[in-house]
Amino acid sequence: MIFKEMHQVARDRGTLAMMFLMPVIQLLIFGYAINNDPRHLPLAVEANDNSAFTRTIVSALRNTTYFEVEEIIDSPGRGEQLIEQGKVQFVVTIPPDFSRDLVRGQRPQLLVTADATDPSATGNAISAIGEAVASGLQHDLIGPLGGRSTSLTPVDLVIHRNYNPEGITAYNIVPGVLAIILSMSMVLVTSLAVTREVEQGTMENLLATPLRPFEVMVGKIVPYFIIGIVQMFVALAAAALLFHVPFSGPILLMVLATLIFIAVSLALGFTISTMADNQLQAMYVSVFYMIPSILLSGFAFPFRGMPLWAQWLAEILPMTHFLRLVRGIMLKGWNLSLALPEMGVLVLMLLVLTVIAVRRYQDTIA
């Protein structure tokens, strides 16, 4: 019996390859990509005081591995806009009288505005800002100004955590759970749609119907689309009533974005179903998609903590863009203009997956 089972497994080379290759690929990706201490976070500096001290602070921030200074801002309000759009993680604001107060020994304030929608991405980095500023100013506060650097920090760091001032983890996790629930149910269930028909011997019945391939695809997807809508409203109600997640954006925009993501997940599941030879392969591919989606999309680990190649890899995952939409609409109050780029990417994914699924299904029944 053992030899018979081994022979049967060896004959199914597709499943055998998945069982050995997928763990290796996942080990390599996650081993290099996952990082709980994110570095090279995008940062902008609003420099309202054009002095040597300001240039020292900017240089000190650039020299630390925690930050990438993306922009020097010279107009008020620009920093808030960059954080809202998700282009930077931090904005350091240097007040107009910073150098004067520093010379007088008054410990001037530095305002640090952080995007706290993901609290795990900001903790260590905020501490690094204070250390970098203090270390940089030590080189300038010498001679007559030496007394100004006797304290640990010659400046007073004021932290503003936007969108999640208390650092509540549920505000970050619960919106992401909606994406996971929809992905697990929509992709996994629909990935078995065609392979189930083949294994159960009912594919001939489908071939005998006058339905076109696209119509068969729609017929198999619509019931799960309705289930996805129910899951969406249950998850949103739980987020608001049980976890008290703030809902700053328009509800209709949230519903529209979720419906697009449901459609993308269903199209992806149907595409997997047309490519797999049996239900076991379809399940393996679905799991292989789900694990990177959870770990690389920014749900489990800070997105910007990953190396650049891993971020580019995550950009092809629908969950990455949906997570940005959910957190942007719910926590940041995104309107349609801010949400449109991410929604556009999901729509493009939907079109591509639909074309692939229909053509693969045509090849399957040919």
250 and 317 both lie in a single domain:
yes
pLDDT per residue as tens digits for the range 151-194 = 556 788 888 988 888 878 888 888 888 888 898 888 888 888 77
Which of 107, 140, 162 represents a domain boundary (last residue)?
Answer: 162
Other CB atoms within 10 Å distance of the CB of residue 123: 14
- Label residue 348 by pLDDT band (50, 70, 90): very high
182 and 150 both lie in a single domain:
no
User: β-strand 109-115 against 90-94: which pairing, if any?
Assistant: antiparallel
Q: Is residue 16 part of a domain?
A: no
At residue 201, the pLDDT reads 67
Q: Is 327 exposed, middle or buried (0-12, 13-18, 19+ CB in 10 A)?
A: buried
Q: Is 165 exposed, middle or buried (0-12, 13-18, 19+ CB in 10 A)?
A: exposed
Q: Is residue 36 part of a domain?
A: no
The number of folded domains in the chain is: 2
Its pTM stands at 0.83
Above 90 in pLDDT, residue 320?
Answer: yes
Phi, psi (rounded to 5 degrees) for 159: -105, 125
CATH number at residue 144: 3.40.1710.10
Residue type, 223: P
DSSP 3-state of 353: helix
Give the domain range for residue 65.
Answer: 41-162
151 and 279 both lie in a single domain:
no
184 and 286 both lie in a single domain:
yes
Which of 162, 195, 213 represents a domain boundary (last residue)?
Answer: 162
Provide the Cα torsion 96, 99, 104, 107; round to 10°. 80
Q: Is residue 35 part of a domain?
A: no
Above 90 in pLDDT, residue 274?
Answer: no
Other CB atoms within 10 Å distance of the CB of residue 365: 14
Q: Is residue 128 part of a domain?
A: yes
Q: Which of 249-263, 304-318, 329-343 has the lowest mean pLDDT?
A: 304-318
Contacts of 73 (CB under 8 A, 6+ apart): 44, 45, 46, 47, 79, 82, 91
At residue 185, the pLDDT reads 85
DSSP 3-state of 265: helix
210 and 336 both lie in a single domain:
yes
182 and 146 both lie in a single domain:
no
Q: Is residue 17 part of a domain?
A: no
312 and 196 both lie in a single domain:
yes
Q: Is residue 336 part of a domain?
A: yes
Strand order from edge to edge, sheet including 41-47: 67-73, 41-47, 90-94, 109-115, 156-162
355, two tokens: 């074309």
Above 80 in pLDDT, residue 316?
Answer: yes
Which of 162, 185, 208 represents a domain boundary (last residue)?
Answer: 162
- Label residue 8 by pLDDT band (50, 70, 90): low
Q: What is the mean pLDDT of residues 46-64?
A: 87
184 and 324 both lie in a single domain:
yes
CA separation, residue 364 to residues 198, 359, 361 (Å): 10, 9, 5
214 and 300 both lie in a single domain:
yes
176 and 323 both lie in a single domain:
yes
209 and 334 both lie in a single domain:
yes
Q: Is residue 21 part of a domain?
A: no
88 and 111 both lie in a single domain:
yes
Cα 57 from chain centre: 30
**297 in Cβ contact with 316 (< 8 Å):** no
Q: Is residue 8 part of a domain?
A: no
Alpha helices by DSSP H, the chain: 2-11, 13-33, 52-63, 78-85, 98-103, 123-137, 169-190, 193-200, 203-208, 213-241, 251-275, 279-296, 308-314, 318-327, 336-365
